[in-house]
Structure 1
Amino acid sequence: MEYEQVKEMVTLFNQSANQEMQLETEDVKLYLNKQPTSAVTTMRTPVEATPDLPTEEATSTHQPTVSESGTTIESPMVGSVYLQPAPDQSAYLTIGQSVTVGEVVCVIEAMKMMTEVKSTVAGVVTAVLVANEELVEYHQPLFEVKEG
């Protein structure tokens, strides 16, 4: 099953009146639930690891949200967010750090595809709104940045 197919299914599910959905294929088990206390869970059948996973650049036409506390950098997709390039390396961004437009702020993994998320604003990071390896939703705020 291709990533785009899963992405389309999640989008259609979010737009539907259905509260729950489960899909199983040979290599993917996907369970979606709109209940407020639930989380999106994906389980994959183990497959042989590949040494270097390709990365994509996240392209989003969605404008960042501006609030009193700053502008948010939002997730362009559903997946697991990684706030550092590798477990033994420091985070891409920390509170108080300056960020520029186009700078990589995190990576989101979906269907074993790593997608770089780049900043759409320049300024100083005022809040990191997610935890490393947390599952994030489409347009979920990831960081707050005070522009300037």
Structure 2
Amino acid sequence: MDLKEIQNLIKFVSNSGVAEVKLETGDIKITIRTTLEGNSPDITYVQQAPMQQTMQQAAPVAPAAQAPVAPAVDENAKYITIKSPMIGTFYRKPAPDKPSFVEVGTSIGKGDVLCVVEAMKLFNEIEAEISGKIVKILVDDMSPVEFDQPLFLVDPS
């Protein structure tokens, strides 16, 4: 898990109103606690290293994750983001032997099918809610996606 993923997780947790989130992946364990009164979040990072690693090798990870981040100028702000309405597997094609629903540069209309998200053996077609042109496809074919994860950038002009 890299620094950007940790920062995105912190932002998500602080905006969601959840009091505490625990995440364990491999030998990394992260706990994020926020206060419900609207005060600044109390964030705790814990990394469990394998027995062969010394504490000096594992310690630099936690302070680096708490470093302040300068706000970045988002060049994609003029585009509309189409997000996943559910957790599942993202597919750009209706079948392996068929062409993709959309490519970068494709003009789309409201109601056009953009992709399919498979959840629990159900294939859900994701339709465009706006008209425009696909500027960027943000997810690789056959990748897992989370709820509200950005899938496409669309230029509405």
Q: Provide the TM-score with structure 1 as the length reference.
A: 0.57
Whose helix proportion is higher, 1 or 2?
Answer: 2
2:76 is the counterpart of 1:72: no
Cα pair distance change 1:34/1:119, threshold 3 Å: farther
Q: Let me know the Cα RMSD of the aligned residues.
A: 2.3
Q: Residue 151 of structure 2 aligns to which amino acid in structure 1? A: L
Asked which structure has the greater CA Rg, the reply is: 2
Matches of 1:123 and 1:143, distance apart in 2: 11
2:132 is the counterpart of 1:123: yes
Alignment-derived partner of residue 97 in structure 2: 88
Equivalent in 10, 16, 22 of residue 18 of structure 1: 22
Cα pair distance change 1:113/1:102, threshold 3 Å: same
Matches of 1:17 and 1:142, distance apart in 2: 24
Number of residues paired by the alignment? 93
Where do 5+ consecutive residues of structure 1 fail to align? 1-13, 22-32, 36-66
Q: Residue 149 of structure 2 aligns to which amino acid in structure 1? A: Q
Q: Provide the TM-score with structure 2 as the length reference.
A: 0.54
In the TM superposition, structure 1's runs of 4+ consecutive aligned residues that sit over 6 Å from their partners are none
Where do 5+ consecutive residues of structure 2 fail to align? 1-15, 32-75
Quote the offset at 1:114 in angstroms.
Answer: 1.1
Alignment-derived partner of residue 140 in structure 1: 149
